[in-house]
Structure 1
Amino acid sequence: MMLRSCCFRCFGRRNGDGLLWHTDLKPHASGDFSIAVVQANNNLEDQSQVYTSPSATYVGVYDGHGGPEASRFVNRHLFPYLHKFAAEQGGLSPEVIKKAFNATEEDFTRLVKQSLPVKPQIASVGSCCLVGAISDGELYVANLGDSRAVLGRRGFDGEKKSVVAERLSRDHNVSSEDVRREVEALHPDDSPVVVYCRGVWRIKGIIQVSRSIGDIYLKKPEFHRDPILQQYGSYVPMKRPLLSAEPSIVTRKLRPHDLFLIFASDGLWEQISDEEAVQIVSKYPRAGIAKRLVAAALQEAAKKRELRYKDIKKIEKGIRRHFHDDITVIVTYLDHHKSSSSIPSHKQGTLGCITAPVDIFTYNSDEAVENSGDKIFPNEEPGSRVAY
């Protein structure tokens, strides 16, 4: 039985912040997970989803920029490709993941070309992309951009803390010197390719991330010959693609001392460190833990502006972006990865997919947030949609 869609209206709880959505705790085959999203932009540019089955768990965090179109596109298309290619090749692997990322990038590129005459700005829309997958006791973390996956594990002898933060993903952001050098090495005849402006490093003075889905105007030199794009004013001189859609992939066997994973967009990591996030998750109850991390980030954002947390919650979307970014957090606990026989029977049968609302403000305003009509997995059976 296949899942019909991750894109149906989701059953999160409401609270005092009209721009916050969360689910306290849901089961997956290796434990529990919790999600929270807070919106800051006029249109929510963060999208996220978790797919669970008896044999695998997929987590996706997609942080859009320039608009929501790319992150929404990835939210609808990446998991189906992962599922399709894993089925064809007999299981998940780095090659399967790369193939799914590439297929999603190619599909979005086609959409941009088709949409250019009526919506030229779509050429400058992109999305960071962070995916975690657990299958057969193996963890895969793939990312483009600066969303981040952090593992919380028990400290070894000699380590000061009982629970230690271990970063599993690499930030593709030119604020890091090694990433700047990597980009410059790929463009030896195009200097300066990375420019310091407005207090930060940016590629061509435009963008901080060096890898993404989308941002086609920074990847396809031939687009600049299109008179529509030239009229729109997105011309950027380049000799070869400035950004890449090739994901960094980390694989590791899950071990008994691995306790939980935190997947989050950079809106969280701009406010709190890996270590702070891990300590919060280790010290507080599971239910609502993702919301607690979001609250910690909002408290920090408020403190920087000499405000109180409750003041931040009153600021409306759009204006709120001046105080913090969209923030998505997914915490995945790792309880039962030692053997499938230890998984409770009610979790062994878990098949489902949950996706945060496409727009939190709209969702909390009781406006329709319904299935877009896209199927999340191919060859699904009628009536097979599963909701929590």
Structure 2
Amino acid sequence: MSSLNPIKLNELPASPIIKTTQSDGNEAFIQLLPGPLVKVWGQFGPNDAPNRDWEGTFYIRPEKEIEEFMKRNAKSFSIPLEHGPVKGWDEIVVPSNPLCEDRHKIDIGPSDQFQRLLKCAEDKGGAFWKAWYEATKIIPVTDIRAAQVNKGDTGDVTSDHQLMFFSVFDGMGGNIFSDMISKTLHACLALTIARLKAESDSSIVNQERLSWALTDTFTAVDQELLHAPVSALKGLLGREDSSPILPKLGPSNFLFGATEGSGCTACTLIVDTAASRLYVAHIGDSRAVAGWYNSKEGKWRCDVLTEDQCGDNPKECARRLSRHPPEEAEQVIYDRGWGNRVLGTNDVVRKFGGSFSKRSHEEEEEIWNTFQTKQAFNFFKRKTPPYTDAEAAVTYRDLKSNPDEELKFVILATDGIWDRLTSEEAVLLTAAYRDEPSQGDVAKTDLAKKYPMMSPSEPRPFPAQDLPGMSTRTEGTWSFDGDADAGTHLIRNVLGGADREWRRQVLSMRELAARQMRDDLTAV
């Protein structure tokens, strides 16, 4: 019998080390190894945290598999309402965390159907939520890719009496809060609008009054979810145990404990077709930007509808510090080496949940001990809570205020998108895609010239970054690969643009390395 001699593979030399950036802006390093493998390493967390170093080595997945992964959750929908301002939407989610913390939600229905919510709001048997579900199933929505209608029949519904809700949510400390908020927030906002319309003599509600009402609704939803564990705790301690088998504080405690410490941001677009107006209610660092086309100038205008509410925003920092005594200022917001953060840990100043930044230290300890949950950061002594809040910032736009301008699209996206794209770049890429989705690779400076944008006429919201094709936004090339939807096109350019090898490497990473190099990516 002849012996088998193992084949010796050529030992290819390792590629040079390339410096790149993590999703939080910190340095990372990538090196290609024989295999083919990609090795990546860097540091994360605050400077005073132990074991900050991280690294990983991963098999580089085939290009076809990378494309399938990137497009897996991409969808396109159309609304068959001839004269409505919204014709449809694209949506996409590219997860980074093992359990994606992002959520998004779209609900559309006739305005008159939402009036039923007023009659059902006092019912404790669930009639309100049933009425909400039925109202949002009336307008048919066509899934373009599946070629099927997945909602109801319009019947006699007209296009000029719709309420449309579009939201993205970014979970923190898991996906529990983002999941709960995505299922409930729109209904509560619809109830608020229905009440104001019922009190008004016309279909157009005073914008200032509505803005305050939307803010109050955000706060009320937050308080409801924060108080639930406290109420449950009091009820559990006071009730007689009905089971001789289970302990007095039974397994149901874990349901309440699961929400402790977690939270989420929210960015909600509301389109009121009867008033020909849109509103954006926003907490956190997700973002909404609008693309207007000015036919007189022949240029696009980027309209940033939100401002990032994080500790690095001087306005938000001052707002938060004004609510605490001056002697506590250095403990409210400070930099541990990864940017200004509330209590040194929270990168957003406004959010749903985040109980550890809102309750007193003593109350939080009692809840943690009872519900058998343990969250990070409980070692911070909170002297004058709350340190974060859910007071939504509300902006509005009249859709027909300027006869020379037309609103072409609005982009809602979580912060994973904005880690690597500016607001103006997102508008430019979407505008160019709508014009010609198969342009090939276009240098960043050339695209900015081909699709000129109007110069900002007012101070831009935080963060005001360099404009496309200028200063720090000149290097690199955008990619126009003829994607089937604008969402995939946007994500493709978030992930390296025409640098296909970098995108392939980053999307091959898993677990901690994936999260460090890219956050969950959600766009609508």
> Please, which moves more after superposition, 26-35 or 253-262?
26-35
- CA distance 1:213–1:284, change in 2 (3 Å): same
> Please, which moves more after superposition, 114-123 or 128-137?
114-123
Q: Which residue of 96, 106, 118 corresponds with 1:50?
A: 106
Q: Quick check: 2:287–2:306 contact (8 Å CA) kept in 1?
A: yes
Matched with 2:328 is 190
Matched with 1:295 is 492
CA distance in 2, matches of 1:180, 1:110: 26
Matched with 1:279 is 428
The equivalences for 1:370-385 within 5 A come to: none
Q: Any stretches of 5+ residues in structure 1 without a counterpart?
A: 1-13, 331-388
User: How many residues get paired?
Assistant: 312
Letter in 2 for 1:297: V
Matched with 1:179 is 316
The equivalences for 1:160-239 within 5 A come to: 162-187=299-324, 188-192=326-330, 193-221=332-360, 224=363, 226-229=365-368, 232=374, 234-238=378-382, 239=384
Structure 1 residues 73-99: Cα deviation after superposition (integer angstroms, max 9, x where no partner): 100110111222222332772244224
Aligned partner of residue 153 in structure 1, secondary structure: strand
Question: Given the alignment of the two structures, is residue 251 of structure 1 paired with residue 396 of structure 2, yes or no?
Answer: yes
Q: Quick check: 2:168–2:522 contact (8 Å CA) kept in 1?
A: yes
Letter in 1 for 2:381: P
The equivalences for 1:220-369 within 5 A come to: 220-221=359-360, 224=363, 226-229=365-368, 232=374, 234-238=378-382, 239-255=384-400, 256-285=405-434, 287-299=484-496, 308-330=502-524
Matched with 2:78 is 26
- CA distance 1:297–1:110, change in 2 (3 Å): same
Report the Cα offset of residue 25 of structure 1: 3.8
Matched with 2:276 is 137
CA distance in 2, matches of 1:51, 1:210: 27
Question: Given the alignment of the two structures, is residue 74 of structure 1 paired with residue 184 of structure 2, yes or no?
Answer: no
Q: Quick check: 1:19–1:40 contact (8 Å CA) kept in 2?
A: no
Letter in 1 for 2:358: K
TM-score by length of 1: 0.73
The equivalences for 1:118-137 within 5 A come to: 118=254, 120=257, 122-135=259-272, 136-137=275-276
Matched with 2:168 is 61
- CA distance 1:223–1:67, change in 2 (3 Å): farther
- CA distance 1:87–1:249, change in 2 (3 Å): same
> Please, which moves more after superposition, 183-192 or 264-273?
183-192
Question: Given the alignment of the two structures, is residue 17 of structure 1 paired with residue 166 of structure 2, yes or no?
Answer: no
Matched with 2:123 is none
Q: Quick check: 2:289–2:303 contact (8 Å CA) kept in 1?
A: yes
The structure whose Rg is larger is 2
Structure 1 residues 336-370: Cα deviation after superposition (integer angstroms, max 9, x where no partner): xxxxxxxxxxxxxxxxxxxxxxxxxxxxxxxxxxx
Letter in 1 for 2:225: F
Q: Quick check: 2:358–2:389 contact (8 Å CA) kept in 1?
A: yes
Q: Quick check: 1:41–1:325 contact (8 Å CA) kept in 2?
A: yes
Letter in 1 for 2:502: R
Structure 1 residues 260-309: Cα deviation after superposition (integer angstroms, max 9, x where no partner): 11111111011111111101111113851011111111226x96xx9521
CA distance in 1, matches of 2:174, 2:195: 34
Q: Quick check: 1:19–1:39 contact (8 Å CA) kept in 2?
A: no
Structure 1 residues 322-342: Cα deviation after superposition (integer angstroms, max 9, x where no partner): 210001111xxxxxxxxxxxx
Q: Quick check: 2:101–2:170 contact (8 Å CA) kept in 1?
A: yes
Report the Cα offset of residue 198 of structure 1: 2.8
RMSD (Å) for aligned C-alpha atoms? 2.8
Report the Cα offset of residue 145 of structure 1: 0.5
- CA distance 1:117–1:134, change in 2 (3 Å): same
CA distance in 1, matches of 2:362, 2:107: 36
Aligned partner of residue 394 in structure 2, secondary structure: strand
Matched with 2:193 is 86
Report the Cα offset of residue 223 of structure 1: 5.2
Aligned partner of residue 69 in structure 2, secondary structure: coil
Matched with 1:361 is none
Higher relative contact order (CA 8 A, sep 6+): 1
Report the Cα offset of residue 318 of structure 1: 5.0
The equivalences for 1:3-14 within 5 A come to: none
CA distance in 2, matches of 1:223, 1:245: 22
CA distance in 2, matches of 1:20, 1:197: 38
Q: Any stretches of 5+ residues in structure 2 without a counterpart?
A: 1-65, 110-158, 198-202, 234-251, 438-483
CA distance in 2, matches of 1:324, 1:266: 10
Aligned partner of residue 227 in structure 1, secondary structure: helix
